[in-house]
Amino acid sequence: MVTASQITIAECHGTGTALGDPIEVGALRGVMEPRDTPLLTTSAKSNIGHTEACAGMIGLIKCVSMVANSQAHPNCHLHMLNPHLDVDGFPSNFDTEVVDTRLNSNYAGVSSFGFSGTNARADVWSQCKSGPRKANTKPDISKADQVHMRCPVTLGPIEATTGEPVTQSFKKRKAYKADVLRDEWASYDISAQAYTGGYRYRRRPLQDSLDDLEDVDIYICGSWSGWTQMEPMQSRGAGRYVAPVILGDACYEMFRLCLNLDRSMEIYPIIKDASSQIWIEGPDSKCEERYWIIDGRHSAAASGTLYEVEFQWHPDLKAISWQEMGASLDLGWSPPAYEHSYMLLGSFTAGHMQPMNHVEGVWRSNFRLGVTGEEEFQISRDGDLNQLIYPAQSGAVKTTVPARGPDSLGREKFWMIRGMPGEKIEVLLEVVEGHVRVTVSSEVRGDKTWDSEDGWERHSYYAYASWSGWVPVPMVMDPSEPGVFRAYGKVQASFAPQYGCHVERFFLIMDEDMNQALYPQLNCSEPFQYVMEGPSGNPSSLCWHIQSRVPDARFEVILDLTAEDYRHRVSWVGEAIGRAEALPLAS
């Protein structure tokens, strides 16, 4: 079905009369609203006159020409608009020159009026057949200096034929020809930074000599100081810098780097919550809240554990890593003095954050219910929206809903508190070795407590799938493989003629939240084919496809959060299942 807003060009009857044109444009507006893009409005009569009986056919021919070129033809002799046209606030364009539709396929509609009130309407669709918007044409990559793709491990840009990282200096290499030969049978679809094999030929080293690097001042800034302090990293020579990081009460810390104490020269990963393998950007001012995270919650590292962060500086290609050094007290090192804070954020704080008081290991704050008897809240660490404590489900009332965080995924999730207007509510927070406990206390209704899950099960995962009627299917972590979650299903009678087999579709969601989806880079993806995206919204409902030769085949969907290659994070195995059938079924 075609909607009115899909029409990009309107070829009007357009006789240029004082009364007829406003009526036609007014009717057009009534049908075409609302719309986001301007309606390109033309009339062939401005080019060739009225033409009487063949006017409609000429308008139709003009529409065919316009959609075939993705251009609206100009109205000739148009010097001013009829003052009676009702176009105020209506996105429309009465063309006086050729206008590009910016699309490679278009709908154009022609209206024409005949004898005795007879009206005719025709709508034409076509892909663009010529010009710069021509559809179904593959770019001639032989004319490109370089072809780039995204590495599934570092998520950074690499040269498609060699896997070389696309640095600023690499981009300047014109008419680039492959000058790297890896070991036989080695893959070139991962970055040289992540490739661990050897080379049979390499024209240039991965980066220039580090011995001649000019010394710079590198500073580290992180969540252990509430992002308030820049601490110098110690130079070890040859562009190598180190700094200690100690895990706080939440058993994780986030950080990024900075050049010469200049906030406009920050060094950061290409994604938020990044591991050490992720591509490094900067120095520039485009950080946009991206940072690395040392997460001891995955490995059960205790608060007070000391890590050493090592950064390899180079103007072109940078690297970062960190390793656990042990307990900070055992090594005789203590962190800079900084007192963390926790704050309430909710419907009663008017967009501000309400501080909590720290008393004997418990953070406390209180508020009163408003006139509706309902208030909602979440908790922020150090006033940072990337360190929120919140319920797994928004509007949570039941204590069976686990607490989540601190992390960056809870901006739309709040606890809901109901009671009598004016009733005093006290919120208590305990954070011990990464475990979070939130208690709401009322003299009238008593206490309600929410606890977080620990380790890899800090979030729950579900398969949002066709085989369950699009009802989320819980995934269960394998106790023998921390970070690996599994769900099970059975192929239904869902034969797809276009594939010649039975097909089931799915993507994954966190905490039953559609705004925290894990999905493939492209639709209809097979296992190990495309990078897993998310957690984020999935507005296009991109899905992985499970294909089976027979119905009723059972399969197992696997989410491996420990996989370095983002293509390998989601896979499936089972009997009579497509390309993944060669993988062994879990016992």
Residue identified by tokens 């957690």 is 535
- Is residue 375 over pLDDT 50? yes
Average pLDDT over residues 144-153: 90
CB 454 within 8 A of CB 402: no
CA distance 217 to 243: 13
At residue 579, the pLDDT reads: 47
At residue 45, the pLDDT reads: 85
119-127 and 280-284: which strand pairing? unpaired
Indicate if the alpha-carbon torsion angle 536, 541, 542, 543 is positive or negative: positive
Question: What are 564's two structure tokens?
Answer: 């370095």
pLDDT one-digit tens code per residue, 4-38? 888 889 888 888 888 888 888 888 888 888 888 88
Co-location of 563 and 576 in the same domain: yes
Cis-peptide into 391, omega within 30 deg: no
Among the candidates 277, 301, 327, a domain finishes at: 327
At residue 117, the pLDDT reads: 64
At residue 587, the pLDDT reads: 33
Element at 236 (helix H, strand E): strand 234-237
At residue 336, the pLDDT reads: 61
CB 502 within 8 A of CB 495: yes
Question: What are 501's two structure tokens?
Answer: 């087999």
At residue 475, the pLDDT reads: 98
Read off the pLDDT band of 333 (50, 70, 90): low
- Is residue 64 over pLDDT 90? yes
pLDDT averaged over every residue in the chain: 89
Please work out, in degrees rounded to the nearest 5, the angle formed at the alpha carbon of residue 435 by the alpha carbons of 433 and 438.
135
**Paired residues of 532 in beta bridges:** 520
% pLDDT > 70, the chain: 93
User: Which residue type, as a one-letter code, is found at position 457?
Assistant: E
Co-location of 108 and 24 in the same domain: yes
338, 342, 343, 344: CA torsion to nearest 10: 180
- Is residue 581 over pLDDT 50? no
CA distance 382 to 389: 11
At residue 21, the pLDDT reads: 84
At residue 16, the pLDDT reads: 83
Question: What are 31's two structure tokens?
Answer: 């049908």
Co-location of 476 and 438 in the same domain: no
The DSSP secondary-structure symbol of 171 reads: H
Classify residue 143: in a domain, yes or no. no
Among the candidates 127, 148, 167, a domain finishes at: 127
CATH number at residue 515: 2.60.40.3620
CB 46 within 8 A of CB 77: yes
CA distance 126 to 61: 13
Question: What are 91's two structure tokens?
Answer: 């996105």
Classify residue 201: in a domain, yes or no. no
> DSSP string spanning 199-223?
EEEESS-SS--STTPPP--EEEEEG
Co-location of 502 and 559 in the same domain: yes
CATH number at residue 26: 3.40.47.10
- Of 412, 409, 403, 472, which Cα lies nearest the Cα of 440? 403
- Is residue 257 over pLDDT 90? yes
Structural domain of 244: 218-327
How many separate domains does the chain show?
Answer: 4
CA distance 551 to 344: 52
Among the candidates 273, 295, 327, a domain finishes at: 327
Average pLDDT over residues 166-193: 87
Sheet holding 92-94, edge to edge: 92-94, 39-42, 7-11, 105-113, 119-127
CA distance 413 to 376: 9
CA distance 130 to 69: 6
Element at 283 (helix H, strand E): strand 280-284
Helix-strand-coil percent breakdown of the chain, rounded to 5? 10, 40, 50
Please work out, in degrees rounded to the nearest 5, the angle formed at the alpha carbon of residue 535 by the alpha carbons of 534 and 536.
85
CA distance 373 to 419: 5
Question: What are 552's two structure tokens?
Answer: 């009723």
305-312 and 292-295: which strand pairing? unpaired
446-451 and 435-442: which strand pairing? antiparallel
At residue 580, the pLDDT reads: 40
Co-location of 123 and 12 in the same domain: yes
User: Which residue type, as a one-letter code, is found at position 261?
Assistant: L
CA distances from 367 to 27, 103, 377, 419 (A): 56, 54, 10, 12
At residue 578, the pLDDT reads: 61
Classify residue 212: in a domain, yes or no. no
**Paired residues of 424 in beta bridges:** 368
At residue 471, the pLDDT reads: 96
pLDDT one-digit tens code per residue, 427-482? 999 999 999 999 999 988 899 999 999 999 999 999 999 999 999 999 999 889 99
Lowest mean pLDDT among 105-119, 344-358, 498-512: 105-119
Co-location of 116 and 52 in the same domain: yes
Co-location of 316 and 384 in the same domain: no
Question: What are 415's two structure tokens?
Answer: 């606890």
What's the chain's Rg over C-alpha atoms?
A: 31
Co-location of 490 and 427 in the same domain: no
User: Which residue type, as a one-letter code, is found at position 373?
Assistant: G
Co-location of 75 and 61 in the same domain: yes
Co-location of 466 and 450 in the same domain: no
Co-location of 306 and 347 in the same domain: no
Average pLDDT over residues 34-53: 84
CA distances from 6 to 77, 124, 127 (A): 28, 11, 14
Co-location of 230 and 316 in the same domain: yes
